Structure 1
Amino acid sequence: MSHSIRLIVLKNIFIIFLIFFIVVLAQNNETDPFSGSVILKHRLLHTPPKPLFENRSHYLDFITDIPGDSVEQAILFFKTNIMENYREFSIEGTHGLYRFKYDPKVYPGQSIKYYFVLKSGDTIYGIPLNSQGKLVPVEKRFIDPIQYYKQRARMNR
């Protein structure tokens, strides 16, 4: 094999390897905005409301032991299945309780995804977190209250 043919073959192998590498990197670049967020400190507490009835207002809230004068900003991010992007709402706290009233007439949908973030000094806290300390939004479906109570009555017999 001549020297010029070897160079062409090596060049083609390099290009194929480069394309393969770019494809692998593109597949690993997740579109999930929470894939890289790691929060190591657990200072917020949230229990998702159960059940979430359709066409009814619900409070989405969390509590914290961080003093109110140390909290720079508390934010709820949420979206319904109808919304393409998360909406951001600053929420005020009283004695460590931060609460947002979700109104389905203003933000309709069949389900909701949400999470909370609190900034205090140079530290950012978030909830809910998984076991690795990554922010993972709560996902809840709104259910029909009539069907819910009928099912509960059947189960309690």
Structure 2
Amino acid sequence: MKKSFLLIISLMFVCSCAGLSYQGKTAAQKPIVLKDGDGVWKNDDLSVNYHCQRTQNALRISGSVDLGRGIVNNFSTIEYFRLQIHLLDAQGKISDTRLLADSGHLVKIETWHFKQDIPLPSGAEAMVFSYAGRAVVSGHDQTTWDFQLTP
């Protein structure tokens, strides 16, 4: 009963966060200029290796996501993980948000790959990433670790 209640509360939280819109808000992170080429964006939680190819109307972005050592060494399963890209205008305001990677539910920790063609809103000049996830220790104790970063 207690586990069912916690599961329902967790699902309500995840669903409520899924509807958050950052459109029009100023990104707090350092912007990554939209240009052709390879890049790496990382912090303690994860590393995103990406390749961008920009045209006049679209951004083709592909790459991979690897979780950081602290998560990989202490947890075996991902309950959920989502990586988003946010496109920014010249003032750093978010003009569009797209989901790049989604782990699925209760999967083994692995490298996630993504590839998308994203229409560029007028005035898009930069991007930032955001993510949310939960790592789980498989077994009896069900220890979890929530990790996230907003744009």
**TM-score normalized by structure 1?**
0.29
**TM-score normalized by structure 2?**
0.29
The answer to which structure has the higher strand fraction is: 2
